Amino acid sequence: MSTVTHEKTVAYEKTGRIARITLNRPEVMNAINDQLPKDLAAAVARADADPGVHVMVLSGAGEAFCAGYDLTFYAEGNGSGAATQEMPWDPIKDYRFMWENTQHFMSLWRAVKPVLCKVHGAAVAGGSDIALCADMTIMAEEAQIGYMPTRVWGCPTTAMWVYRLGAERAKRMLFTGDKISGREAADIGLVMQAVPQAELEDAVEAMAARMSTVPINQLAMQKLVINQAVEQTGLMQTQRLATIFDGITRHSPEGLNFKARSEEMGWKQAVRERDEGTFDWTTNEEIPKGNR
């Protein structure tokens, strides 16, 4: 028996012992707006409370898993969360908004039942935050993952990069803001597995089916023990610091210049200049080719 419910930004379906949670803004590559984190957490809570669900599978509709925060909504405009406030900046207002989103993403981690994430296309910026909060992530080899806003205008609030990669490899990713393929992500241990795009569906279904044959209480006990070992290292304290720094990045001189550039030229050009390293956000000038 299959039941399907469509929310504004997230679709929920139950097939047998598997709950399928799908980010459902395909027209913008499932970009995050104010509502999506809330709908995601609600879907996770629904699956976690259902005694018939053993495993959750998280995926994205359309061409990608998630392209990060909706910059048309937040960078060109401002969104109801006021991603960049008028000065003087109220850091607690910013922190409350971003901490709430972080905790919605972390519902995947805190859920008693395991969450298997399927990534195709891209899981970038805030989309990587979501994917890395899952218990296990399987990517298409051709897919991309990265947190480009570390170049300007962001700090990954879930801090899952360091917990999955260790310090040196996390620094390699967050000092550059580079995107890497699913194949490389699996090779360095960021995600569990990468397979060709044509095999992604079968790989995720096989893993979900295998886990679904285990009693819920057994799955829950193993997840709680493993997560506790990670949490004992100070996960929440790290996330609080990252969330505070995320607000600071957006209200630093460089962050404000990026926001202004997005409003002037459109966020696509501003992002391209940021990611290619062709613009100096301190001086608000293009970087000469010989200095890039």
**Is residue 79 pLDDT above 90, yes or no?**
no
CA dist., res. 122 & res. 114, Å (int): 22
Q: What tokens does 216 get?
A: 């819920």
CA angle 181, 184, 189 (to 5 degrees): 125
Q: Which residue in 179, 175, 141, 173 sits closest to 160, CA to CA? A: 173
CA dist., res. 127 & res. 31, Å (int): 8
CA dist., res. 174 & res. 148, Å (int): 8
- Numbers of helices and strands, H then E, in the chain: 13, 12
CA dist., res. 133 & res. 114, Å (int): 11
Q: What is the pTM of this model?
A: 0.94
Average pLDDT, the chain: 94
Q: Which residue in 94, 121, 127, 95 sits closest to 108, CA to CA? A: 127
CA dist., res. 220 & res. 93, Å (int): 35
User: Which 8-state DSSP code applies to residue 75?
Assistant: I
Q: Domain 2-251: give its CATH code.
A: 3.90.226.10
Q: What is the pLDDT of residues 218-241, one digit of tens each?
A: 999 999 999 999 999 999 999 999
More confident residue, 93 or 81: 93
- Delimit the domains of the chain by residue range: 2-251
CA dist., res. 61 & res. 125, Å (int): 17
Q: What is the pLDDT of residues 94-135, one digit of tens each?
A: 999 999 999 999 999 999 999 999 999 999 999 999 999 999
Residue 184 CA to its chain's centroid (Å): 18
Question: Residue for token digits 């997230």?
Answer: 10
Instruction: Give the Cβ contact number of residue 49 at 10 Å.
Output: 11
What per-residue confidence (pLDDT) applies to 82? 63
The answer to whether the peptide bond before residue 51 is cis (omega within 30 degrees of 0) is no
Average pLDDT over residues 68-77: 80
Give the 3-state secondary structure of residue 240: helix
Q: At what angle do helices 235-251 and 216-231 cross, to 10 degrees?
A: 60
- Decide: 148 and 177 in contact? Cβ < 8 Å: yes
Q: What is the pLDDT of residues 241-290, one digit of tens each?
A: 999 999 999 999 999 999 899 889 998 999 999 999 999 999 999 999 88
Residues 6+ apart with CB under 8 A from 261: 269, 270, 273, 279, 281, 284
Average pLDDT over residues 157-175: 98
Work out whether the CA dihedral 217, 221, 227, 233 comes out positive or negative.
Answer: positive
Q: What tokens does 71 get?
A: 């910059």
Q: What tokens does 219 get?
A: 């799955």
